[in-house]
A and B are shown apart, each in its own frame.
Chain A
Amino acid sequence: MSEQKVTYLEAIGQAIREEMRRDEAVFLLGEDVGSYGGAFKVSAGLMEEFGPERVIDTPMAEAAIIGSAVGAALMGMRPIAEMQFIDFITCGFDQIINMASKMYWRVGMPVPIVIRGPSGGGTKGGPFHSSSPEAWFFHTPGIKVVVPSTTYDAKGMLKAAIRDNNPVLYLEHKLLYRLPELREALPEDDYIVPLGKAIIRREGEDMTILTYGAMVHQCLRAAQVLEEDDDLEVEILDLRTLSPLDREAILASVKRTNKVLIVHEDTLTGGIGAELSAILAEELFEYLDGPITRVAAPDVPFPYAPPLEAAYLPNAEKILSAARKLAAY
């Protein structure tokens, strides 16, 4: 174990550096990733170590970034494509949906690319710099979607994503980048966190909360209050990988606690929670002791005004009140 505690952001940088050292096929491309070191400084120092041919500054054109990455992957490379803000991934939508995710299905050639970038709100970034785009890709077969919530997972899952032969969308939450509480001493040895495995962040018998990303921390706060004030033991299952979902872990937990609260920062309709609800209703109807309940952002674009943003985002208070209602059902 390293003595030095690193941030979530530094852990992502470490993962890229270590993988580039390990495998010459791995390279990074994106806007300002090279000489500037990335808008959030994720790739600081990488150009110095690996040179401009493996850390490539691109034009402001996401379709080109992702398209080049897909082409490179078809030629045997393992590119990491950075979106400066994940909101702009929409510009590269066609390359992801029609190319990357379907290539192996069409021609039998794997596309081992990682598309990563900062997602999520809470930074007063407004509608173009705060979004959570996971549901669009969650819906698409052929691409994995991962959402790390801790520093350890950020590094281990990025390494696993880079080594995966499928296209992987790796969503970093920008609010977690430099969060002091998330500073962690990481193993010095090479490690990965396998994709497709959820993890129980907190054990409990009274209710399961299914969540991922930054919301894990809001749920942990709410669970603390529920234990102290309401004598409720809430289990928190951090999904970590949204596609493919760890159905086994989800069903096992809910089968045990019989009540389920689903929390995500993305908007409600057609979100990850909708699919989770359907799975639970189909598989565990007779194990449910209360309605499947969702806490999510309202179905409106992300607001810019700080008071509106505060009202928009799910938080520990909203989770708390939904959990209490469900517990009393």
Chain B
Amino acid sequence: MPTPVKMPRLGESVAEGTVGAWLKKEGDYVEKDESLAEIITDKINAELPSPIAGRIAKILVQTDETVAVGVDIALIEESADVATEAATPQAAPVKSAAQATTPVLEQKTAAALPREDGARSAGRSKAGSAPLSLPLPANNDRRSEATTTSAGNGARNGHGEEERQRISPLARRLAREHSLDLNEIVGTGIGGRVRKEDILAYLAQEQSAPEAIPQYATPAVFASQPSAPSSPVAPPHPSVGPTQVTVAGSDEEVVVPSRMRLAIAEHMVRSKRTSPHATAMVEVDMTSIAKWLEKNKDEFKRREGYSISYVPFVMKAVCEGLRKFPMLNSSWTEDNKIIVRKRINLGVAVATDAGLVVPTVYDADQYTIAGLAKQVNALAQRARANKLTIQDLQNSTFVVNNTGVFGTIISIPIINQPNAGILAMNAVVKRPVVTEDDAIAIRSMMYLCLSFDHRILDGAGSGGFLQTVTNKLQSYGREIDVY
């Protein structure tokens, strides 16, 4: 029985992927974890390692074809001798075969992700004890902490994962004919299988209540849910939803958005529909930090090899705020509960040529300001080089966004689901300010804009958080210890 290789889920809200190139051809023998193909998604590009050792029996999805996550893209025949050879004590091939036949499970996807050469043996030995092994990031410096990270994520993934939806061939056809999103339909067959009667009941219910809550109103709190984007923007999957063809007028031009643009669009609309956004702003006196940066920036860069800006200072202050107001480090769940995250994983918005990505600095509260600067630099570099891993793009609990680099003085951010809040920092500008002793002075000022999920907390909580951040940023004197 050949083992199917499935399109991996390379990112939380990514529903499909494109085969960029096949690195092997039919008939080739591959080792376990040897790269099979390059996969391109909205978020990242990655090499897909083989789940088992064997011979490529068939390539099912050709180069440049795009298929949904979980779709078989190739078949690999496990060769008995290669398998025995690879069978290190814990009978690894058996395990991987089992994983490979479980479709769309996150742990399988994770196991199928690229690993750096050095991390390979570590990952394999870990697979024996832990239920899943997450990819280790490329950066050597982060290897040790990433190991702890993956252990922590194991628990979360195990809880949030979903099995492939069961559905009869007839129900699948009916859903397609009526343009239904199968994720919306609850199956009543054995094992929750969607059957004819479920589709008919759903249609009947839709007919009797045409004004019912729109499908996308369900809070998509867990982005790990493999739901296809039930997006109000033009869905990337052509068969979903009615197709309306846009035609350009004589003085217009139609631009087909990139896949990343579509993903961003979907996420933004979903976030606005999911969380009632409220925004609060404070003005922060950044004079001490500005002066310190002015004086030490260049030397810091020379010494450390990476630059330092306002961002790590704000991140540090945000960590302190989140410790004090943990409700901002939480998620509103689908079943109307609030999950408070104990770890502080800060997402940092990074503009790339292709669009916006928000990689994660795990356990940001454990770093010094210089440490944060280093992490942010590394992530930004990987983002721009298109080298982010799935791990980089998951599990943020709060986001800091520096729109100030574009010169804005006020900006109202949209929450990165499923977070409770997002903080936008703006340009630090010199302004005449009335000081505490009623003098007028020239100070370096910055507006911080916090958008928060008003389901989770109110003005008091968000105000307290902003106050904590402000106080921290204004607490620095002439000398700042960034280590």
Contacts and interface: CB of A to CB of B under 8 A. Distances in A.
A289 B173 CA distance: 10
A285 interface: yes
A286 interface: yes
A258 B196 contact: yes
B196 A286 contact: no
Given A287-B170, A328-B189, A329-B168, 7 more contacts: A258-B196, A286-B169, A288-B168, A289-B168, A290-B168, A290-B195, A328-B190
B189 A288 contact: no
A258 B170 contact: yes
A287 B189 CA distance: 16
A206 to B, nearest CB: 10
29 contacts: A258-B170, A258-B196, A285-B169, A286-B169, A286-B170, A286-B172, A286-B173, A287-B169, A287-B170, A287-B173, A288-B168, A288-B169, A288-B170, A289-B168, A289-B169, A289-B170, A289-B171, A289-B195, A289-B196, A290-B168, A290-B189, A290-B195, A328-B189, A328-B190, A329-B168, A329-B189, A329-B190, A329-B193, A329-B195
Nearest to B188: A328
Contacts of B171: 289
Closest 3 CB pairs between A and B? A286-B173, A289-B170, A289-B196
Contacts of B168: 288-290, 329
Q: Chain B interface residue count: which class?
A: 10 to 19
Interface in A30-63: none
Nearest to A290: B168
Interface residues of A, number: 9
Contacts of A328: 189-190
B144 to A, nearest CB: 50
Contacts, number: 29
A54 B173 CA distance: 60
Nearest to B197: A289
A114 B170 CA distance: 42
Interface of A: 258, 285-290, 328-329
Nearest to B198: A289
A288 B174 CA distance: 11
A328 B173 CA distance: 19
Contacts of A289: 168-171, 195-196
A288 B167 CA distance: 11
Interface in B160-182: 168-173
Contacts of A290: 168, 189, 195
Interface string B177-211: 00000000000011001011000000000000000
Contacts of B170: 258, 286-289
Contacts of A286: 169-170, 172-173
A287 B173 CA distance: 8
Nearest to B168: A289
A14 B170 CA distance: 47
A176 B124 CA distance: 66
Nearest to A287: B170
A285 B169 CA distance: 7
B182 to A, nearest CB: 14
A290 B195 CA distance: 8
Most buried by A among B169, B189, B196: B169
B197 to A, nearest CB: 8
Most buried by B among A258, A287, A289, A290: A289
Contacts of B193: 329
Nearest to A285: B169
A285 B190 CA distance: 20
